[in-house]
């Protein structure tokens, strides 16, 4: 479903829209609070969406993916 948002070589803002939904879901008011309270599944989805939005700058997405892995080391979806 995330891939259905399409992509653009110049980047997209889909991650921002997803973050807004996650802020509501977790009842928090900042990305930092979301990153500290979210479960591994939501973190990896957010990281993936960030990476899709900017193929040339995935450092932030990678850090969030690592955080997701720390929260769930047994996931088949999250692996190092």
Considering the entire predicted model, what is its pTM? 0.84
- Give yes or no for a contact between 23 and 29, defined as CB atoms under 8 angstroms apart: yes
Residue matched to tokens 């990678």: 62
Q: Who's near 42: CB < 8 A, 6+ residues apart?
A: 22, 25
CA distance 52 to 3: 8
24-77 tens-digit pLDDT = 999 999 999 999 999 999 999 999 999 988 888 999 999 999 999 999 999 888
- Map out the domains of the chain as residue ranges: 14-71
- Please list the alpha-helical segments (H only) found in the chain: 14-26, 31-37, 40-53, 59-71
Q: Which two tokens stand for residue 76?
A: 């088949």
């Amino acid at each position: 479903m995330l891939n259905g948002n399409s992509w653009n070589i110049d980047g997209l803002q889909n991650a921002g829209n997803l973050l807004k939904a996650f802020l509501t879901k977790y009842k928090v008011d900042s990305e930092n609070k979301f990153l500290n309270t979210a479960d591994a599944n939501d973190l990896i989805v957010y990281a993936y969406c960030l990476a899709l939005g900017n193929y040339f700058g995935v450092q932030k997405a990678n850090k969030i993916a690592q955080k997701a892995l720390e929260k769930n080391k047994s996931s088949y979806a999250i692996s190092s």
